[in-house]
Amino acid sequence: MKRKEIYLNLSLILLIALMIVQASLLWIKLPELKQKTIVQEQYNTEDIFKNLLKPKKLIVNFGANNHTVLYDFPEIWNEYVDVISSIFMQISDSNLSLISPQEYMDLQKEKSIVFSFTKEMTANLFLNLIGKSTHSEPKTNIVIREIYISNDDIVISNSKGIYKLKINLGKDPTSKIEELAKFSTRKYENFYEKYNIAKNIYIPINNKMTYREISYKDEISDMEKQYKNNLASRVLNQNIDYIREITQADGTTYIYEDRFLKLLSSGIINYENPENFQIKENNLFLSLKTAMSFISSKMGISSYIRLNKIEPIKEKDNLGYKFTFNFTEDSIPVYLISNKLFDYIEIEVYSDHVKSYRQVYRSSIKEPEETYREIAETTIEEIIKNNFNKFVENYNGIDEIELIDIIQNIDDIDLVYIDSDLNDNISKLEISVCITYKNRDLFFSLDDGKFIMER
């Protein structure tokens, strides 16, 4: 063999060897990379809790008699969630001062933003859920319902009072407010400006509104067999070959050991885990984290639900919580009309143990093109006048009742969707208004002002 051919063969052998080494390295590394990607997609704690804690609405004050209310504001929330965390970490009894409702309403004349939360929560819970209190806790575990932020002032509002906070925030919202002022936003006025009632409640000035038409459908009725098997495997945490399946007239039940999952033909999912457990102390943070982990990893839901209620529960000597959730569309909550089912999701959790889960298994239909509709919105005054009997107990239609007497007892007004017909496979959501009145939630159609339900 010629020397040139020997060198060529040696070069080819060396090249093949290098390729084998590179391939082996890729084979070693790729499974690790793939595994990390799957874990991250299944359950991202920080993003899920940021979304769960997102306020129900953002009030933007451009100046006196110039306001708007936003329901969908993900970019602003992402920008301010760390700012709010910083506020909570700096709160102490020494830098809080009580102010009057009138003083608070006067502050709404300044360029400012107000984050309004669905329910009151503690600063400690907020910081725990987004992972900001790992090494320290707030000096004062204040309860929050609203957070007012301007260039000069920070105010915390809750059911017990309104408190001005004396700290240097280092975050001026003025530029963001001026940016929002350039858009054609819907104009609102507050109760203080319209009725001289010192409550931070807002109603639109123009009764014309545009909303997105949305339809919901039952996801169980046409669910494919393979999807049902995959769902059962995830929820029961077992290969489908080891899960027993029972088909009945009202649906299908999947059983593994004592745990079972029911997919009912009525459009409801039920999961039960009756195995023995011992949880002697209430742990709200761990219970809520467990609930969200289950909903996210087992049911694939994380970005369009809103926590509606937290209720302490007890079974024998075990302590836990029942959490209920609503769905949201464009950050507007969706409510069910049902005498038996008040919320889309209900889950009972005892710290790290999920005892039961129930979900009305419906979702929005993905349309090829979004459709928007404009309506003449019924005013709050018209709704009250046409529904006196819903606001006044034992109203007989004869007694003279002043409209302002009812208005001053209103605690909040919110835009909502109503899922009105669970008997149909597909139903169109109805845009509505929820009026919180003397701790009652009253729902009315925005189209004609008719009473829908009370919760």
Q: CA 65 to CA 63: how far, in whole Å?
A: 6
Q: Say which residue, 28 or 340, is predicted with more confidence.
A: 340
Tell me the CB-side half-sphere exposure of residue 38, using CA atoms within 13 A: 6
Q: CA 445 to CA 376: how far, in whole Å?
A: 11
Angle at 117 between CA 116 and CA 120, to 5 degrees: 125
Strand ranges for 133-195 from DSSP E: 143-150, 154-158, 161-165, 188-190
Token pair in block for residue 154: 């920070």
Closest by alpha carbon to 92, among 24, 34, 166? 166
b/e map 233-259, b = 16+ CB within 10 Å: bebbeeebeebeeeeeeebbbbebeeb
Token pair in block for residue 158: 């809750």
Q: CA 255 to CA 295: how far, in whole Å?
A: 19
Residue 78 backbone dihedrals phi, psi, to 5 degrees: -60, -35
What's the CATH code, domain 216-364?
A: 3.30.310.160
| Residues 381-396 pLDDT 10s | 999 999 998 998 776 6
Q: What percent of the chain has pLDDT over 70?
A: 87
The answer to whether the CB of 384 falls within 8 A of the CB of 406 is yes
| Residues 120-155 pLDDT 10s | 888 888 888 877 655 567 778 889 999 999 999 999
- Residues facing residue 247 across a β-bridge: 252
Q: Which residue ranges does the chain devote to CATH 3.30.310.160? A: 216-364
The answer to whether the CB of 324 falls within 8 A of the CB of 309 is yes
Q: Say which residue, 93 or 37, is predicted with more confidence.
A: 93
Token pair in block for residue 115: 């984050």
Q: CA 69 to CA 74: how far, in whole Å?
A: 14
Between β-strands 112-122 and 353-360, what pairing exists: parallel, antiparallel or unpaired?
unpaired
Residues 6+ apart with CB under 8 A from 325: 295, 305, 306, 307, 308, 343, 344, 345, 346, 347
pLDDT of residue 93: 87
Most confident of 25-39, 116-130, 398-412, 429-443: 429-443
pLDDT band at 183 (very low <50, low <70, confident <90, very high): confident
Provide the angle, in degrees to the nearest 10, between the axes of the packed helices 225-236 and 284-299.
Answer: 150
- Is pLDDT at 353 greater than 70 in this prediction? yes
pLDDT of residue 300: 87
Closest by alpha carbon to 155, among 127, 192, 116? 116
b/e map 132-162, b = 16+ CB within 10 Å: bbeeeebebebebbbbbbbeebbbbbbeeeb
Helices (H), ranges, 300-392: 380-386, 388-391
Residues 6+ apart with CB under 8 A from 323: 287, 288, 291, 307, 309, 310, 311, 345, 346, 347, 349
pTM confidence score: 0.84
Closest by alpha carbon to 177, among 330, 68, 51? 68
pLDDT band at 455 (very low <50, low <70, confident <90, very high): confident
Residues in the chain: 455
